[in-house]
């Protein structure tokens, strides 16, 4: 979609109001960052730091200077060059949940996820055309920290050849696995790792020492960083959506400025996982329309800073695969694409307020992405050929005119039409004769087919062995704890 | 009846009204326990009921609790030892490694609203800190919160530490990934999926402790 056609909700003036309020928050309140090294870096770059209280306040010109160093995009390398993607606002790249507890498997049963699920979910991702970034979907419930991060990273690299993200903990281990993979690739520029790091600041306006330390490590290795605050409007941020957007933008910029101090020009993504806090059920609903407003606001602010954005998309608070799940998934997916987000995590297949991933829904959301992309493409090129006056003239008015046999139809219909793979378009009687298959049932059959047949491109043997060795060491360490 | 006026003021979130009315009753020599139980805690029970019925939302419930606490502050100097500790003490925190705190904060605020003495240890709390605080404060209940599958094992560790220290506290656990099955397995005495349920549970556990502690 042409950049000037992006969906916007904020006027240019409102974008500037949000920006001005953000600068004020950064200057007068600042961020609570309990990591001495981080505070020292920020002080060196002009922040006003209170080491005792762990608070850094950012003068406006310091923030403005850092914004000037943001690159407008970057390349997210995958080990398979065909799966390498550009993160620059030109296309919305999708992934799935990354840490659900439960799965709803092809048999429809709701149960705790096991490692095998993560490998299968990753293989689905590898097979599906609209999934661009690998993910295991789950945190297997009984897996201890340390092993968990090694498992995630190994699975993403081995059960898929698509782009991989770096988790926020055990960063040395992640960097080591990424280096092993990088050494097997000829298409990576010298010193570049096939990785983008995922970081979540805490609200209101803080972070923890370990995550900050990990962020420094990624930045020093030149790994681009996606920074996604998770404001719960009304609970860990203001109840007004505008106020939540201000706080979130301050949380993002506070971290992004730090990244620029460590590695000037490093790619950053302004992400959001924010929503309103549900004042009755006390959850953070990703299916809420306010989350979608924040998503659009995030993309607009990112564009103000000349950088790519991340949204959620496809996530639903429904506990089963029902109409609510479809409606919420469609809304956030379509909006992420229309607004022009570059990356979406949380995520195709997500249900149960981030706590579950459904195999079928991954496929159905993949189809929703197709539909949304088709919508976003709009009329496409408008010229004499597509305006079609010639063919309208040729067919003329009135019966027996029809277009089915026209060469114009023959040459355009495939590229003009969205062709459903799973959604049903059939007359009732035919559909009944064919076995009354719903979209969900068709998705389930497709899941089984893919899992039975799809084999991701393997890593070279030596690299696989090295990665396995790291994984087994983590397993041993976990056992000895 | 003035005691009812106090309740009504709590239910109307009228902080100034509550302090004024409570002071008037104290000055008039009304039985302190009556003001506490019938006016203040009675009002919070009604608030809890209206919340469960879906009439009130969280910020309204918390505003009512704040109003109630303003009244309670005036009563405190007059409370005899027994009624001061009548509801018992709950020590609460998120376990080691876990920094998710909104759920824990809500549970703590609602327990306070229900009249418990709450000692909030914050986030990322080591097992020894729970043991120390439970002992120091004579806690009847220890409440553990965890939101991560990787920090849930720290709940089990904390329970073991409390047992090894010979404390007879009851332990309740919660947080999004925690289930009642998990609670049973690690030897907790109670689990609740939400904050109102946590208050009910605390009442039950405290009663099992023999009321005050
Ligand atoms: C907001 C949030 C965050 C915020 C937390 C901010 C804060 N100040 O708390 C931030 C961004 C910091 C964050 C960080 C992380 N998070 Co987080 N987070 C959430 C989210 C979206 C909502 C949690 C929340 O506040 N809910 C609202 C409150 C009110 O609900 P609650 O905590 O469940 O509490 C209620 C009940 O459980 C109960 N209760 C709670 N405690 C207790 C205690 C007792 C005794 C009782 C009886 C009852 C009880 O009462 C409460 C009120 O009704 C959840 C998703 C989810 N569905 O839960 C993920 C989630 C918990 N996070 C998750 C993850 C993975 C992380 C990170 C590891 C991510 C990262 N990239 O680093 C870090 C870990 C940080 C750490 N060391 O703790 C995962 C956990 C997955 C898993 N399998 O373990 C979840 C489930 C999301 C997901 N599916 O991916 N997170």
In a domain, B213, yes or no: no
**pLDDT at residue A392 in the model:** 98
In a domain, B152, yes or no: yes
In a domain, B52, yes or no: yes
Considering only CB atoms, A101 lies closest to which of B103, B177, B194, namely B177
CA distance A88 to A308: 5
The token duo for A173 is 């281990």
DSSP secondary structure letters along A290-317: HHHHHHHHHHHHHHHTT--EEE--S---
Give B96→chain A minimum CA distance, Å.
12
C-beta atoms surrounding B140 within 10 Å: 27
Chain A residues closer than 8 Å to B153 by CB:
144
Quick one: average pLDDT of A13-33? Answer: 98
Judge whether residue A87 has pLDDT over 70: yes
Domain shared by B184 and B203, yes or no: yes
CA distance A124 to A180: 24
Using CB atoms within 10 A of its CB, is residue A270 exposed (0-12), middle (13-18) or buried (19+)? buried
Yes or no, beta carbons of A280 and B99 under 8 Å apart: no
In a domain, B98, yes or no: yes
The domain that holds B188 is classified in CATH as 3.40.50.280
Quick one: average pLDDT of B51-65? Answer: 92
The parent domain of residue B177 ranges over 87-208
Domain shared by B166 and B200, yes or no: yes
Yes or no, beta carbons of B149 and A101 under 8 Å apart: yes
Is the C-beta atom of B143 inside 6 A of ligand 1? yes
Domain shared by B161 and B174, yes or no: yes
CA distance A255 to A266: 12
**pLDDT at residue B1 in the model:** 59
Task: Give the length of chain B.
Answer: 213
CA distance B171 to A217: 40
The three-class DSSP label of residue A144 is: coil
Q: Which domains does chain A have, with CATH numbers?
A: 3-67 (no CATH), 74-377 (3.20.20.480)
Domain shared by B127 and B157, yes or no: yes
Chain A residues closer than 8 Å to B57 by CB:
279-280
Judge whether residue B3 has pLDDT over 90: no
Judge whether residue A208 has pLDDT over 50: yes
Judge whether residue B82 has pLDDT over 80: no
Domain shared by B70 and B25, yes or no: yes
Top mutation candidate among B103, B120, B194 for ligand 1, by most atoms within 8 Å of CB: B103
Domain shared by B15 and B114, yes or no: no
In a domain, B63, yes or no: yes
Yes or no, beta carbons of B99 and A202 under 8 Å apart: yes
Chain B residues closer than 8 Å to A152 by CB:
none
**pLDDT at residue B52 in the model:** 86
DSSP secondary structure letters along A103-135: EE-TT--EEE--HHHHHHHHHHHHH-TTB-B--
CA distance A356 to A345: 14
The domain that holds B50 is classified in CATH as 1.10.1240.10
Domain shared by B79 and B94, yes or no: no
Residue nearest to atom 31 of ligand 1 (CA): B103
CA distance A382 to A126: 35
pLDDT category of residue A315 using cuts at 50, 70 and 90: very high
Q: For an interface test with A, which of B58, B98, B175, B186 has the most A Cβ atoms less than 10 Å from its Cβ?
A: B58
pLDDT category of residue A227 using cuts at 50, 70 and 90: very high
**pLDDT at residue B79 in the model:** 81
Yes or no, beta carbons of A144 and B153 under 8 Å apart: yes
Is the C-beta atom of B177 inside 6 A of ligand 1? yes
Percentage, residues of chain A above pLDDT 70 = 99
Of A285, A291, A288, residue with least CA distance to A354 = A285
Domain shared by B47 and B98, yes or no: no
pLDDT category of residue B213 using cuts at 50, 70 and 90: very low
- Chain Cα centroid distance, residue B73: 16
B209 C-alpha to center of ligand 1: Å?
A: 30
Domain shared by B107 and B199, yes or no: yes
Number of domains in chain B: 2
CA distance A289 to A301: 18
Using CB atoms within 10 A of its CB, is residue A458 exposed (0-12), middle (13-18) or buried (19+)? exposed
The residues of A whose Cβ lies within 8 A of any Cβ of B are 101, 139-145, 148, 202, 208, 232, 234-236, 239, 277, 279-280, 282, 355
pLDDT category of residue B81 using cuts at 50, 70 and 90: low
Quick one: average pLDDT of B75-98? Answer: 84
Give A285→chain B minimum CA distance, Å.
13
Is the C-beta atom of A49 inside 6 A of ligand 1? no
CA dihedral A39, A44, A46, A50 (to 10 degrees): 30
Yes or no, beta carbons of A143 and B150 under 8 Å apart: yes
Domain shared by B58 and B96, yes or no: no
This model of the complex carries an ipTM of 0.86
The token duo for A333 is 């997916």
Yes or no, beta carbons of A279 and B59 under 8 Å apart: yes
**pLDDT at residue B80 in the model:** 73
In a domain, B69, yes or no: yes
**pLDDT at residue B212 in the model:** 45
Last residue of a domain, one of B46, B66, B83: B83
Last residue of a domain, one of B83, B110, B140: B83
Last residue of a domain, one of B39, B66, B83: B83
pLDDT category of residue B210 using cuts at 50, 70 and 90: low
Chain B residues closer than 8 Å to A234 by CB:
59
Domain shared by B142 and B193, yes or no: yes
Estimate the share of chain B in helix, then strand, then coil, as percent rounded to the nearest 5: 60, 10, 30
Model pLDDT for residues A374-419, shown as the tens digit of each residue: 999 999 999 999 999 999 999 999 999 999 999 999 999 999 999 9
C-beta atoms surrounding A359 within 10 Å: 27
CA distance A228 to B101: 18
Lowest mean pLDDT among A266-270, A451-455, B65-69: B65-69
Yes or no, beta carbons of B102 and A208 under 8 Å apart: no
The residues of B whose Cβ lies within 8 A of any Cβ of A are 54, 57-59, 97, 99, 102-103, 106, 148-150, 152-153, 176-177, 194-195
Model pLDDT for residues A272-288, shown as the tens digit of each residue: 999 999 999 999 999 99
Quick one: average pLDDT of A193-210? Answer: 97
**pLDDT at residue B84 in the model:** 55
Domain shared by B168 and B136, yes or no: yes
């Amino acid at each position: 979609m042409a950049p000037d056609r992006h969906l916007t909700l904020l006027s240019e003036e409102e974008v500037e109001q949000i920006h001005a309020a953000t600068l004020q928050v950064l200057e007068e309140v600042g961020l609570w960052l309990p990591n001495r090294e981080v505070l020292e870096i920020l002080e060196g770059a002009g922040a006003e730091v209170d080491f005792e209280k762990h608070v850094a306040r950012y003068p406006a010109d310091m923030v403005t200077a850092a914004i000037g160093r943001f690159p407008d995009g970057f390349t997210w390398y995958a080990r398979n060059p065909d799966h390498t993607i550009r993160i620059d606002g030109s296309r919305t790249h999708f992934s799935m949940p990354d840490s659900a507890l439960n799965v709803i498997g092809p048999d429809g049963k709701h149960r705790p996820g096991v490692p095998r699920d993560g490998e299968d979910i990753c293989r689905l991702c590898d097979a599906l055309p609209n999934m661009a970034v690998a993910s295991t979907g789950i945190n297997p419930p009984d897996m201890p920290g340390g092993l968990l991060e090694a498992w995630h990273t190994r699975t993403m690299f081995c059960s898929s050849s698509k782009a991989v993200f770096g988790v926020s903990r055990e960063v040395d281990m992640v960097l080591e696995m990424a280096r092993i993979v990088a050494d097997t690739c000829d298409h990576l520029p010298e010193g570049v790792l096939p990785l983008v790091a995922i970081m979540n600041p805490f609200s209101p306006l803080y972070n923890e020492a370990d995550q900050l330390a990990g962020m420094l490590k990624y930045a020093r290795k030149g790994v681009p960083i996606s920074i996604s605050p998770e404001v719960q409007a009304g609970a860990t941020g203001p109840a007004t959506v505008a106020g939540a957007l201000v706080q979130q933008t301050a949380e993002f910029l506070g971290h992004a400025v730090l990244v620029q101090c460590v590695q000037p020009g490093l790619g950053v993504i302004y992400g959001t996982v924010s929503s309103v806090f549900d004042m009755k059920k006390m959850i953070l609903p990703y299916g809420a329309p306010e989350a979608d407003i924040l998503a659009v606001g995030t993309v607009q602010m990112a564009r103000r800073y000349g950088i790519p954005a991340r949204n959620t998309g496809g996530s639903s608070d429904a506990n089963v695969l029902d109409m609510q799940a479809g409606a919420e998934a469609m809304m956030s997916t379509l909006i992420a694409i229309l607004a022009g987000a570059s990356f979406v995590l949380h995520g195709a297949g997500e249900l149960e307020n981030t706590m579950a991933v459904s195999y079928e829904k991954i496929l159905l959301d993949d189809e929703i992405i197709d539909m949304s992309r088709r919508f976003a493409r709009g009329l496409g090129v408008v010229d004499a050929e597509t305006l079609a006056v010639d063919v309208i003239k040729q067919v003329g008015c009135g019966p027996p005119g029809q277009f089915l046999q026209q060469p114009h139809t023959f040459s355009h219909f495939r590229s003009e039409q969205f062709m459903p793979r799973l959604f049903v378009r059939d007359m009732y009687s035919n559909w009944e004769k064919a076995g009354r298959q719903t979209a969900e049932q068709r998705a389930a059959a497709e899941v089984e087919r893919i899992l039975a047949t799809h084999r991701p491109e393997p890593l070279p043997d030596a690299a696989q062995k090295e990665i396995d060795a790291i994984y087994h060491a983590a397993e041993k360490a976990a056992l000895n704890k | 009846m003035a005691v009812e006026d106090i309740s009504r003021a709590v239910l109307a979130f009228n902080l100034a009204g509550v302090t004024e009315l409570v002071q008037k009753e104290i000055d008039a020599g009304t039985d302190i326990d009556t003001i506490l139980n019938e006016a203040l805690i009675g009002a919070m029970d009604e608030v809890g009921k209206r919340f469960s019925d879906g009439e009130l939302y969280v910020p309204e419930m918390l505003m009512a609790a704040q109003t109630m606490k303003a009244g309670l502050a005036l009563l405190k100097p007059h409370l005899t030892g027994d009624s001061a500790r009548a509801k018992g003490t709950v020590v609460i925190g998120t376990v080691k490694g876990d920094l998710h705190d909104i759920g824990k904060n809500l549970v703590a605020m609602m327990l306070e609203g229900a009249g418990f003495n709450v000692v909030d240890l914050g986030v990322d709390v080591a097992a020894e800190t729970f043991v120390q605080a439970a002992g120091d404060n004579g806690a009847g209940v220890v409440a553990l919160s965890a939101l991560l599958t990787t920090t849930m094992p720290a709940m089990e560790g904390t329970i073991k530490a409390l047992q090894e220290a010979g404390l007879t506290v009851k332990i309740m656990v919660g947080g999004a990934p925690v289930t009642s099955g998990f609670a049973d397995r690690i030897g907790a005495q109670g689990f609740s999926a939400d904050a109102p349920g946590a208050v009910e549970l605390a009442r039950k556990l405290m009663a099992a402790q023999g009321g005050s502690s």
